[in-house]
Structure 1
Amino acid sequence: MSVAERARSARWRRLAVGGSALAIVAGGWLVYDGIATSPAARIARLTHLDHVRARSLASQRAIAPRQGGSRLVPFTPTVSGEVAEISIPALAVSAPVVAEGPVNGELTIPSDVHTVGWDEQTPSPGAPGVTLLAGHVNWVGQGEGALGEIGQLVPGDLVYLNWGGRETEWRVDTKPVLSPNTVVHPQLFTTQGPPTLALVTCGGPFTEVPGVGGSYADNVIVEASLVG
C-alpha cells in the first residue's frame, strides 16, 4: 500500500461526522434531542421500523431501472458544493453528493443526513480504483439518512450517479458487509483496478454515551461495479 493509500486508510479510522471530532469512522455519533425514552423502547421502536421498511422495500424493488448505461443528462446542483446526484431505485433514494476533503486528517461527512459526501481524495466515478461515498445513517431532528437503508441492498440492485451531467450505472456485487468500525479496509482506498463504487454508513449495535449521544459499533459497506 502506497503512502497516499496509508494516509487515506488512516482517515477511515477517524472520520469527523458533522464537523464534530467526537465521531468515529462512518459509524458516526447520534445526539439525542432529550426525549426521555429507555434504550429498550428505542430498540423496540427501531426493530418495528426495520420490519416496516423491509416490507416496503419489497415493493420498491419493482421500480424499473433506467436504460442505456452511461449517458449525458441535465445536472442542476440543488445544494451548495454539489458535484453529483446519487439515485438508488431499489430504496427510492435520490440525494445530492458533495465533495468532502480532510480536515485535520479526518474526512468530514455532511451534517445534512440527506446529503452524501464523496471523499475527494478517492477517484472520481469511472476512474480506476474505488470511489468512496459516505453518509449518516440518521440524526435526531433530521430522520433517516440518504444511505440509511443501504444494508437492505442485494446483489444486482442498481445505483446511478449523475456526475456533472454524465450518468453512470453501477451494479451491487455482493451482500452488504457489516464490519466493526475499528477494522480498516485498505481495498477501499485504492486507485488501481476496475472502477468500483463503495457506499458506507453506520450500523450494528448502538452504544449510548451519557451527555454526548452515542456511537454505532459497525460500518455498513456496499460495493458496486461499473456497468456503463
Structure 2
Amino acid sequence: MATSKYRVRHLPQNVIDYSKKFGEFPWIQANVLVDFKNPWSSKKVPNTEFRALWDSKNLYFRFDAKDSSIYINENDNSVESIGSSDRVEIFFRKNKDLDPYYCMEIDPKARIMDFKARPNRNFNFQWSYTKEHLKVTSQMTEKGYSVEGTVSIKFLENFDLLHNGIIETGIYRAKYIKQKGTGYQPTWITWIDPQVKEPDFHIPSSFGIFELEKGEL
C-alpha cells in the first residue's frame, strides 16, 4: 500500500510574524488536508481540516475541528483529564521501529498532553516539549474549535525526525460522544487507516509522510 503524503508549503524567510492574533497567520497559502476517517465505524465522522507551513525556524500547523458539542473534562489538568477530552493529535517518529516517537495531544483549551513513547505503548509522561520548541493556542468557533501551533525545526533536527525534507507523521483526532448508560465514549479519527480491527494510533501503519516544499533550512 502506498504511503500517504502531505506537502508542506514553504514560506520565505523573515515574512512571518507569529505574534499575530489567532487566525491571522497566512493559512490560505497552505494545502488543506481533509481526508480524515474513522475506519472502525460506519457512522459519518465530523469534518476535520489540517494545514501546515514551514520556514527555516518552524513547522506551523492548524487544525479546524467541526464540533456541535465540544466535550472537555475539566476536573484538573492531569494527563487523565486531557486524555478523556476532545482533542487533536500529532505524532512524529524517527523511523518505522517507533523507537522512539514523540506525541502531542491538544484539547480545545490548548491544554497539552505531550510525551515520548516506545513500542507497545511504552509512554514516558515525564518527557515533554520545552516552551522553546512547542507553542500552541486555540479558539472556540461557531462551528467547533481550532488549534494553531509551532514546532521548531531545531527540535525536529535534534531528535532526528527530519530526513532530507521528510517528516514521518501521524495526525489524529479524538471526539467524545455521550452514550446512554456508559457516559462519554471516544470516536477515533485518523488521517491514515492503520488497517487494524481495533482503534490504535500507536503502531507504524498509522503514520504518513510530510514532504517539505523546497526552501532553506
TM-score normalised to structure 2 length: 0.31
Larger % of strand: which? 2
Larger % of helix: which? 1
TM-score normalised to structure 1 length: 0.30
